[in-house]
Structure 1
Amino acid sequence: MSHPRHALVGVIHAPVRFSIMAALAASEKAEFAVLRDVVEVSDSVLSKQAATLEQAGYVRITKGHVGKRPRTWLSLTAEGRRAFAAHVEALRAITEHAG
C-alpha cells in the first residue's frame, strides 16, 4: 500500500492556496476583497495565488461591476471542488495512517 501523501494535490497544498480553496469551498462565490480579508493576504498575493489556481482549472475568476465600481469574484470550478475534496481526504488519511 502506498502512503496517502501521494494523493495530495501539489498546487493546492501551498498554505495560501489551500486557504483560498477552503474559503471558496464554503461558498458559491466570493468577492475578491472579502476573500483577501478572510485569507489575510495582500491583494497582490491573492491575485498571484488565484491565478495559479485558475491556470490549474480549479478556480474561476469573473470580473464585472456593481454600479460603476469594478468587482472581481472567485469561485471553485467543479474540478476544483473535486480536487479540494480529494486533497482533504488525503490529509485525513495521512493523519489516520500516522496513528
Structure 2
Amino acid sequence: MTGPATDPTAPASGDTPQHPRHQLVDALMHPVRFSLVAALANVEQVDFPTLRDTLQVSDSVLSRQASQLEELGIIAIRKGYVGKRPRTWMSLTQEGRSRWQAHLAALQAIAGT
C-alpha cells in the first residue's frame, strides 16, 4: 500500500505562504477590545465616559477590557482630575498602533482586498 498521491508541481510544504489569519492579533479578537482599539485608532485620547457610551458597554466591561489591553501594552490609561472630579483617559500606545495596523492588514488579506 502506498501513501496519498502528491502533485509534483505543488510547492513543498515549507514553501507554502502562511495564511493571513496567523497574523491576526489574538488580543483584538474579542469584540469589545476590537471596538475599543478601533475607537482609539484615529484620536490622541478619549475619556472613559465617551468610550463607554460610544461602545455601548457598562463601566465594568470597559474597565476590564481596557485593563487587559493595558497589560499587553496596547493602550495607555491615564487618571487625573478635571476640577475635583476624577477622570480616566485612554490612548493607543505606539505598539498598540502597530498591532492594530497589522491586525487590519491581516483582515484585509483574508477578505482579499
Q: Could you state the TM-score of these two structures normalised by the residue count of structure 1? A: 0.96
Mapping for residues 57-96 of structure 1, pairs under 5 Å = 57-96=73-112
Aligned to 1:17: 33
Q: How many angstroms apart in 2 are the aligned matches of 1:41 and 1:93?
A: 30
Superposition deviation, residue 84 in structure 1: 0.3
Aligned to 1:40: 56
**What RMSD, in angstroms, separates the aligned Cα atoms of the two structures?**
0.9
Bigger proportion of residues as helix: 1
Q: How many angstroms apart in 2 are the aligned matches of 1:40 and 1:85?
A: 24
> Structure 1, residues 39-88: CA drift from partner, whole Å, max 9, x if none?
11000000000000000000000000000000000000000000000000
Q: Could you state the TM-score of these two structures normalised by the residue count of structure 2? A: 0.84
- Tell me the secondary structure at the aligned position of residue 75 of structure 1: strand
Match of 1:55 among 57, 67, 71: 71
- Tell me the secondary structure at the aligned position of residue 112 of structure 2: helix
Q: Which has the larger radius of gyration?
A: 2
Unpaired stretches in structure 2, ≥5 consecutive residues:
1-16
Unpaired stretches in structure 1, ≥5 consecutive residues:
none
- Tell me the secondary structure at the aligned position of residue 47 of structure 1: helix
The one-letter code of the counterpart of 1:37 is D
Identity of aligned pairs, percent? Answer: 57
Q: How many angstroms apart in 1 are the aligned matches of 2:31 and 2:42?
A: 17
> Structure 1, residues 2-28: CA drift from partner, whole Å, max 9, x if none?
110000000011110000000000210
